Chains A and B, each alone.
Chain A
Amino acid sequence: MELKIVNLSKTYPNGVQALKNVNLTIPKGMFGLLGPNGAGKSTLMRTIATLQEADNGEVRLNDIDVLKQKSKVRKRLGYLPQEFGVYPKISAETMLNHFAELKGISNKGERKDIVKALLEQTNLYHVRNKNISGYSGGMKQRFGIAQALLGDPNLIIVDEPTAGLDPAERNRFHNLLSEIGENIIVILSTHIVDDVSDLCKKMAIINQGEVLLQGDPSELIENIEGKIWEKVIEKKELESYQEKFNIISSRLYLGKIIIHAFGDTNPNSFEPIKPNLEDVYFSSIKNGKKIVNL
């Protein structure tokens, strides 16, 4: 089972080209889609989730044409959108039961069981009778994953699920995601590198509607081994460094700035360091597709 995206393009009426000829093959297991805000991740997610049309291209889930056979896709889909709300004055249990209904679980007993199981697994059972509108961000996200799991889906899409969660909640959420299973496709879209490095065996980096990189995270890190260089500089020096070198990231550290540069050779008294996924991410964002050819 795999999800195949071929030459997918989408331009919004306001002229923004959200997807440019996207080609991706997503196998079973957890797939991380990493990209900065506005990269086109959500557009891609929504298109796969049958909520949006594409201008060109094709999306296939095995033999299903996702863009045309929407109802078939929806029967197998679990979707947690980037942003979602709930009806007012409704408890988690009622809401989940309603969603179970919408997912076609028509047997009342089965519905009850699965709702109970999901609430227990997501650790929401003790607050099942409370209005969801009073839930904290983390609880709401867990509720979101619970509804996505209704009806035994074999394609799950989670769009930016950890944005805004505190570290403990994020941890808990990762734990949940990691249990979803290896036998189905799970697409995790995020702008947080750790989400991917914690959970995903396959990934892609997307920016400005284009896929920059795809592959196994560890392989991708290996690819840039020996090409990432670090230096601590003064704030005022930053500009001249940026002009001279291929600086992929910079961050503050104790009032000074740590910069990372990308290159085959040490640019100028930089320290060589062991790259991580973040460096993969930043170097690909900075250098676009070029990095793929490395």
Chain B
Amino acid sequence: MFFKILSFELKYKFSRPAVYIYWGVLFGLTFLIVNALSGLVDGVSVSIGGLGGKVLTNSPFVLYSLTTGLSFTAFILLPALIGNSIYRDYESNAHALLFSYPISRFGYLGGRFIGGFIASIFVFSSIGLGIWGTSLMPYLNQDFFGNNVFMAYLSPYLSYVIPNILIVGIIIFSIAAISRNLLATYLGCIALLVLYGIAGTLLSDIENTSLSSLLDPFGGTAFDTLTKYWTVTEKNEKIIPFTWYLFLNRAIWTSFALGLFSYLVLKFKFSQNVFHLKFRKNSRLIFANINPVLKVLKFKLPTVNQDFGFKSTLKQLIRLVKFETRSMIKNPYFLGILITGIIFVFINASQLGKIFGTTTYPVTYQVVGILGGTFSLFLFIIITFLSGEIVWNERTYKVDELVDSMPIPTWSIYTSKLSALLCVQVILLSIIMFLGIITQSVMGYFNFEINLYIKSLFGIQFTYFALICILAFVIHVLVNNKYMGHFILILFYLFSSFMGDMGLEHNLYKYASSPGIMYSDMNGYGHFIMPFIIYRAYWFAFAIILAITSNSLWVRGKETSFKKRFSLLKQNIKLSAKISLIASLVVFIALGAFIFYNTNILNEYKTSKESIREIVSYEKNYKKYTKCIQPRIVEMNMNVDIYPKQRSVNYKGFYIIKNKSDKAIDSIFINYNQKAEYKQFDFDKKANLSFEDKNMGIRIYKFTEALQPNDSTYLRIDMNIAPKGFKNRDSNNRLLANGTFLTTGQLPTFGYNSGYELTNERKRKKYNLPEKELVAKIDDTQALQNTYISNDGDWIRFETTVSTCKDQIAIAPGYLQKEWTENGRNYYHYKMDSKILNFAAWLSADYQVLKDEWNGIKLSIYYHKGHEYNIKDMMKAMKKSLEYYSKNFTPFQFKQLRILEFPRFSKFAQSFPNTIPFSESIGFIANIEDEDINYPFWVTAHETAHQWWVHQVIGANVEGATVTSEVLCQYSSLKVIEKTYGIEKVRDFIKHEMDSYLSGRSSEAHYEPPLLYLRPNQGYLHYNKGSIVMYALSDYIGEDKLNSAIKKFAEKYAFQEPPFVTSEDFIKYIKEVTPDSLQYLIHDMFETITLYENKVIDVNYSQLDNGKYKVNFSVECQKFRADSLGRENEIAINDWIDIAVFSKETNDSIKKEEEILLKKFKVTQKSNDFEFIVEHKPSKVGIDPYLKLIDRHKEDNTKTISII
């Protein structure tokens, strides 16, 4: 029986077009994505599953990520593929017949399910075949592909796709069998996938990765955990192994699914009765009055007036909107989606603004951002679903013939339904607002900015979703097939999110788009508002055109074909509609023209591809000037007038430039900001403009008489920068109404700048560019002449007068000489008494100031009113840092230090001489609790350290440049944290750093050098590996010895002239203080990439007669050397490693786990056994428990002693 039903089911499935269509769609989707991933389109940065750099598109790792990712999306097909196997019988009412036949439950359910299951596997096979097919395409760049390995294609199917089709399939099949409703099956499937997303958030919080690997029903976490730290080589070469955890996970969940299926088989009834999703029992009325004798009726109906005037139609409309809204919000599916969404939102709210596991205060913009952002997924689902329901409502319930023959005008029906859909959005967003306020209250934050809630939720979000509603509604009206309508809408969502990647970047043709709008506490919505409103008006005009047109195509009556409706258009469209149509069209075109004028005429519109081409042509045309010696800036005197309200700035002043080389300079190559207007751009020395490229902003001047060695001249500049109109995107976020932050970056620079060059190797190849040297070699004599932050100058004299409007304070590096008001503007004259690096900033905002002093050094924090939360900690950080650094390293070179808050459009802090601009988003609103890492404190300490490790000692622009800046800053700030908060906080911090380093190297786009030879932009090396290594080093050789070496190094190289210092110079000082027995550490940590695999295998203990405890444990230690692409080789181990024993009973009152033994032992082999006699009952043992050595599995470094 089973086989008969199965073969019937298979014949049925494979004789119908559906499976082939699904197969084709999935194949096509895969084909498109793999093409996009393989460099078909320029400027595309599609990145799935860690692809990028040297990882190949058909590598086992990418194949696994891509296949599993796409199949996850394609699970949405399972209701149709598997649910349909059983649902179909109910739909066609065949069950009434079928269930009366002598078939067994297992035969029926099993046969149907397996049939659907096999059909699904067939459909999902298109993903692997799609990738394989694409990899053979001759037009694609073959650099993206390696050899196709069959097992690499098969393994995701064996461990992920097929088991999950079984698991999800059974769940869906069960829903279909019980509910007998297609919609319920679909929603069940969506709920399952969404719940999985929620579970993902929760799972990622579980520290124990093996537990979360087992709990994940799809088995994705096991894969993520396994490959989290994989390097390029591993991703390219290693077939995803079927690990024990993966196996266990698959076994658990498959048996769960099979259990569910057996239960279904056991409980299934061949009955006619349908299970209904309902909240109340719907009793059928029995008409009891069976009286065949007629009563003579006399119809007496009250007379009524039918009024079709405009005013009453309007009133009628309002009542209809209410009616339709009520019917929508009573929909049980809607309620189901809504409740899921609310749960999802609440779970996300707990993650508010996490940095280093520390959350921020729930300020309104954060809350709205997170709640509104996560809820928007549900709004999309709700809009898609409800728009279909409301357009089809009458037909679904067969009320259409009644309603359509009534005298209500079509536009009333149309408008009432569309308005009701919008009303539902208002209700939903009000719920979000309500949830936001609750979240804030629960978190103890009571500054509810209702005004901001309204602007953000209704001004921004609602207007967007209203546009989506109109589109969804119009699509459903035009397509006139509910499921096709949903499908087209989903296609639209996908298309609009991939449009940018396909080179369609202009907001003029991207429905409902805008150049973006971002709120900052400091700047509000600022200059974003105007273009935003214009864009919204533009798209609303378009939406109204759509709405009016589709109103005339509304299906009224039984004529549903598009052709017929279109022919009725003339009859249906009224004069008033024509007028509004023309009016909207005029508004749409006028606004479109205005936008075009702003984005393409006032500003330059460039696609990503054009930008890349420009970069390419810069390199091709001007690379030849690399070797031309340029004069260097030795003095900068710049008056900067900032007009915050007008968003305009004027720079007027001069550079003194000097020929510091030993050859005469006859011409000068200048990069200038081509968006600025120049009133003056002159040399005091006679010079002719010999070349100009206005498009790229390049000028070459030829001196009439060459600039001789040691000769100098003035370059006088008077320039104005003011954004014109608005741009398609990336508006100037530095020149603001409140919180302007300008740097020397706006000013002209000298010489060819290799920093602009394209770095992506495959793109370089495409544009016929030679392989790029990503950073100059450490012995490159020309590169040694420059610091890594500027090619134009090193130590300069600096003076500036900066002015701003009367309610703001303007700040620049230097000591305030004079402050005055003139013409209603505030002027500040700053001057440095010593030379500083050519790296200055000018800021202006309406600041509050916190002032303090440390040893005669003036400290201040300029902050936005309301952001007082952490300024005391930041002040404390400055003091503690100054204290530690000046005591252990060199004296502080300035008499002041200032922190300046700037808006959150950029998310960093940056150290200029005695001036630290600090983004509002990285600490000012952090909500620090005792157990958290105090990152405002840490960032302050780090930036303060830069006053030494950049502004005293600055590395040359070669490999390893940031070792003497960022690495030392990490070390310095960790020491300040240790002194202030204790070593435990540093250990917590190191855990994060370990994770960031290992994930950072896993997504390396080029190659990973040893620390000593890092490239300047490799954050995971100079920040994360830097922290780990320096923390370990200070532990191994001792803080004092290390500091003495650093001090000696700093004294030698502070304020040096070129050639500048390198990491090799630095390491010499470290080697000097390192005992011979530990010299290997320097080699392991700085000169090579070394990893360990340390783990505790087994542990037990016994109590001795004297009350002490004997603890025995065995550990395994392995040491590996990795090459620049992450290929590892095991090497002999002969290392000192921490061995530790912990106990919970050292202190009776607080049962905190503490170390009772921590000692370094020399480990010389893989397996080692230890035995200790300890005073207290041991609870845990560990090898390298505090992660001083780089280890990919930190969780097995310790083992808790289980109580038997």
- Determine whether A235 belongs to the interface, using a CB cutoff of 8 Å to chain B: no
Q: Report whether B397 and A121 are in contact in the complex, using a CB–CB cutoff of 8 Å.
A: no
Query: What 0/1 pattern do residues 138 to 155 of A give for CB contact below 8 A with B?
Result: 110000100101011000
- Kindly identify which residue among B291, B316, B559 contacts A53, using a CB–CB cutoff of 8 Å: B559
- Kindly identify which residue among A52, A71, A113, A123 contacts B302, using a CB–CB cutoff of 8 Å: A113
- Determine whether B294 belongs to the interface, using a CB cutoff of 8 Å to chain A: yes
Q: Report whether B564 and A53 are in contact in the complex, using a CB–CB cutoff of 8 Å.
A: yes
Q: Which of B132-140, B307-315, B380-388 contacts A (4 or more CB under 8 A)?
A: B307-315
- Kindly identify which residue among B306, B319, B323 contacts A104, using a CB–CB cutoff of 8 Å: B306
Q: Report whether B398 and A134 are in contact in the complex, using a CB–CB cutoff of 8 Å.
A: no
Q: Report whether A118 and B301 are in contact in the complex, using a CB–CB cutoff of 8 Å.
A: yes
Query: Least Cβ distance of A41 to chain B in Å?
Result: 14
Residues of A within 8 A of B286 (CB): 136
Query: Least Cβ distance of A114 to chain B in Å?
Result: 5
Q: Report whether A71 and B407 are in contact in the complex, using a CB–CB cutoff of 8 Å.
A: yes
Query: What 0/1 pattern do residues 226 to 239 of A give for CB contact below 8 A with B?
Result: 00000000000000
Residues of A within 8 A of B1203 (CB): none
Q: Report whether B304 and A114 are in contact in the complex, using a CB–CB cutoff of 8 Å.
A: yes
Q: Report whether B307 and A104 are in contact in the complex, using a CB–CB cutoff of 8 Å.
A: yes
Query: Least Cβ distance of B289 to chain A in Å?
Result: 8
Query: Least Cβ distance of A61 to chain B in Å?
Result: 13
Residues of B within 8 A of A106 (CB): 305, 307, 312, 315-316
Q: Report whether A88 and B397 are in contact in the complex, using a CB–CB cutoff of 8 Å.
A: yes
- Kindly identify which residue among A50, A75, A87 contacts B557, using a CB–CB cutoff of 8 Å: A50
Q: Report whether B402 and A139 are in contact in the complex, using a CB–CB cutoff of 8 Å.
A: no
- Determine whether B781 belongs to the interface, using a CB cutoff of 8 Å to chain A: no
Residues of B within 8 A of A134 (CB): 282-285
Q: Report whether B330 and A89 are in contact in the complex, using a CB–CB cutoff of 8 Å.
A: yes
- Closest B residue to A116 by beta carbon equals B302
Q: Report whether A104 and B399 are in contact in the complex, using a CB–CB cutoff of 8 Å.
A: no
- Determine whether A15 belongs to the interface, using a CB cutoff of 8 Å to chain B: no
Q: Given A102-B406, A139-B287, does the pair A75, B308 have CB atoms closer than 8 Å?
A: yes
- Determine whether A101 belongs to the interface, using a CB cutoff of 8 Å to chain B: yes
Residues of A within 8 A of B323 (CB): 98, 101
Q: Given A53-B559, A110-B304, A113-B302, does the pair A86, B292 have CB atoms closer than 8 Å?
A: no
Query: Least Cβ distance of B399 to chain A in Å?
Result: 6
Q: Report whether B304 and A121 are in contact in the complex, using a CB–CB cutoff of 8 Å.
A: no
Query: Least Cβ distance of A86 to chain B in Å?
Result: 6
- Determine whether A103 belongs to the interface, using a CB cutoff of 8 Å to chain B: yes
Q: Given A135-B285, A138-B287, A179-B297, does the pair A87, B327 have CB atoms closer than 8 Å?
A: yes
Q: Report whether B407 and A104 are in contact in the complex, using a CB–CB cutoff of 8 Å.
A: yes
Residues of B within 8 A of A149 (CB): 301
- Determine whether B571 belongs to the interface, using a CB cutoff of 8 Å to chain A: yes
Among B285, B304, B408, B556, residue most surrounded by chain A Cβ atoms (within 10 Å): B304
Q: Which of A1-9, A22-30, A168-176, A269-277 contacts B (4 or more CB under 8 A)?
A: A168-176
Query: Least Cβ distance of A134 to chain B in Å?
Result: 5
Residues of A within 8 A of B558 (CB): 46, 51-52
Rounded to whole angstroms, the CA-CA distance of A88 and B285 in the bound complex is 15
Query: What 0/1 pattern do residues 65 to 78 of A give for CB contact below 8 A with B?
Result: 00010010011010
- Determine whether A99 belongs to the interface, using a CB cutoff of 8 Å to chain B: yes
- Closest A residue to B396 by beta carbon equals A85
Rounded to whole angstroms, the CA-CA distance of A122 and B294 in the bound complex is 13
Q: Given A85-B399, A87-B397, A106-B307, does the pair A51, B405 have CB atoms closer than 8 Å?
A: yes
- Determine whether A31 belongs to the interface, using a CB cutoff of 8 Å to chain B: no
Q: Given A133-B282, A136-B285, does the pair A103, B297 have CB atoms closer than 8 Å?
A: no
Query: Least Cβ distance of B282 to chain A in Å?
Result: 6
- Determine whether B401 belongs to the interface, using a CB cutoff of 8 Å to chain A: yes
Q: Report whether A84 and B301 are in contact in the complex, using a CB–CB cutoff of 8 Å.
A: no
- Determine whether B712 belongs to the interface, using a CB cutoff of 8 Å to chain A: no
Query: What 0/1 pattern do residues 723 to 736 of B give for CB contact below 8 A with A?
Result: 00000000000000
Query: Least Cβ distance of B281 to chain A in Å?
Result: 10
- Determine whether A209 belongs to the interface, using a CB cutoff of 8 Å to chain B: no
- Kindly identify which residue among A79, A136, A171, A179 contacts B401, using a CB–CB cutoff of 8 Å: A79
Among B285, B308, B556, residue most surrounded by chain A Cβ atoms (within 10 Å): B285
- Kindly identify which residue among B299, B301, B557 contacts A46, using a CB–CB cutoff of 8 Å: B557
Q: Report whether A176 and B285 are in contact in the complex, using a CB–CB cutoff of 8 Å.
A: no
Q: Given A106-B316, A136-B287, does the pair A79, B402 have CB atoms closer than 8 Å?
A: yes
- Closest A residue to B563 by beta carbon equals A13
Q: Report whether A151 and B304 are in contact in the complex, using a CB–CB cutoff of 8 Å.
A: yes
Residues of B within 8 A of A180 (CB): 299
- Closest A residue to B571 by beta carbon equals A68
- Determine whether A117 belongs to the interface, using a CB cutoff of 8 Å to chain B: yes
- Closest B residue to A144 by beta carbon equals B402
Rounded to whole angstroms, the CA-CA distance of A100 and B305 in the bound complex is 11
- Closest A residue to B327 by beta carbon equals A87
- Determine whether A107 belongs to the interface, using a CB cutoff of 8 Å to chain B: yes
- Closest B residue to A80 by beta carbon equals B402
- Kindly identify which residue among A46, A86, A87, A101 contacts B320, using a CB–CB cutoff of 8 Å: A101
Residues of B within 8 A of A135 (CB): 285
Rounded to whole angstroms, the CA-CA distance of A134 and B398 in the bound complex is 15
Rounded to whole angstroms, the CA-CA distance of A63 and B406 in the bound complex is 19
Query: Least Cβ distance of B1106 to chain A in Å?
Result: 79
Query: Least Cβ distance of B293 to chain A in Å?
Result: 9
Rounded to whole angstroms, the CA-CA distance of A144 and B319 in the bound complex is 22
Q: Report whether A103 and B407 are in contact in the complex, using a CB–CB cutoff of 8 Å.
A: yes
Rounded to whole angstroms, the CA-CA distance of A46 and B556 in the bound complex is 12
- Kindly identify which residue among A53, A75, A85, A130 contacts B568, using a CB–CB cutoff of 8 Å: A53
- Determine whether B743 belongs to the interface, using a CB cutoff of 8 Å to chain A: no
Rounded to whole angstroms, the CA-CA distance of A49 and B407 in the bound complex is 11
- Determine whether A255 belongs to the interface, using a CB cutoff of 8 Å to chain B: no
Query: Least Cβ distance of B394 to chain A in Å?
Result: 9
Q: Given A74-B405, A104-B306, A133-B282, does the pair A85, B397 have CB atoms closer than 8 Å?
A: yes
Residues of B within 8 A of A139 (CB): 285, 287
Query: What 0/1 pattern do residues 551 to 571 of B give for CB contact below 8 A with A?
Result: 000001111010010001001
Rounded to whole angstroms, the CA-CA distance of A114 and B559 in the bound complex is 32
Interface residues of B in 373-426 (CB under 8 A from A): 393, 397-399, 401-409
Residues of A within 8 A of B397 (CB): 85-88
Q: Report whether A175 and B306 are in contact in the complex, using a CB–CB cutoff of 8 Å.
A: no
Q: Report whether A121 and B306 are in contact in the complex, using a CB–CB cutoff of 8 Å.
A: no
Among B294, B299, B319, residue most surrounded by chain A Cβ atoms (within 10 Å): B299
Q: Given A71-B409, A84-B399, does the pair A105, B285 have CB atoms closer than 8 Å?
A: no
Q: Report whether B306 and A49 are in contact in the complex, using a CB–CB cutoff of 8 Å.
A: no
Rounded to whole angstroms, the CA-CA distance of A130 and B409 in the bound complex is 29
Query: Least Cβ distance of A226 to chain B in Å?
Result: 34
- Closest A residue to B568 by beta carbon equals A53
- Determine whether B627 belongs to the interface, using a CB cutoff of 8 Å to chain A: no
Rounded to whole angstroms, the CA-CA distance of A55 and B102 in the bound complex is 51
Q: Report whether A49 and B285 are in contact in the complex, using a CB–CB cutoff of 8 Å.
A: no
Residues of B within 8 A of A243 (CB): none
Query: Least Cβ distance of B419 to chain A in Å?
Result: 15
- Determine whether A164 belongs to the interface, using a CB cutoff of 8 Å to chain B: no
Residues of B within 8 A of A113 (CB): 302, 304
Q: Given A84-B398, A106-B315, A134-B282, does the pair A168, B292 have CB atoms closer than 8 Å?
A: yes
- Closest B residue to A87 by beta carbon equals B397
What are 12 inter-chain pairs, A to B, with CB distance below 8 A? A46-B557, A49-B401, A74-B407, A79-B401, A81-B401, A87-B327, A102-B320, A103-B407, A110-B305, A121-B297, A134-B282, A152-B304
Closest 9 CB pairs of A and B: A85-B398, A51-B557, A81-B401, A106-B312, A104-B306, A74-B407, A75-B407, A79-B405, A102-B406
Instruction: For the A-B complex with A99-B402, A104-B316, A144-B402 known, give 15 more contacts whose Cβ atoms are closer than 8 Å.
Output: A13-B561, A49-B401, A50-B405, A53-B557, A71-B407, A85-B397, A103-B406, A105-B305, A106-B305, A111-B304, A114-B302, A123-B289, A133-B282, A136-B284, A147-B402
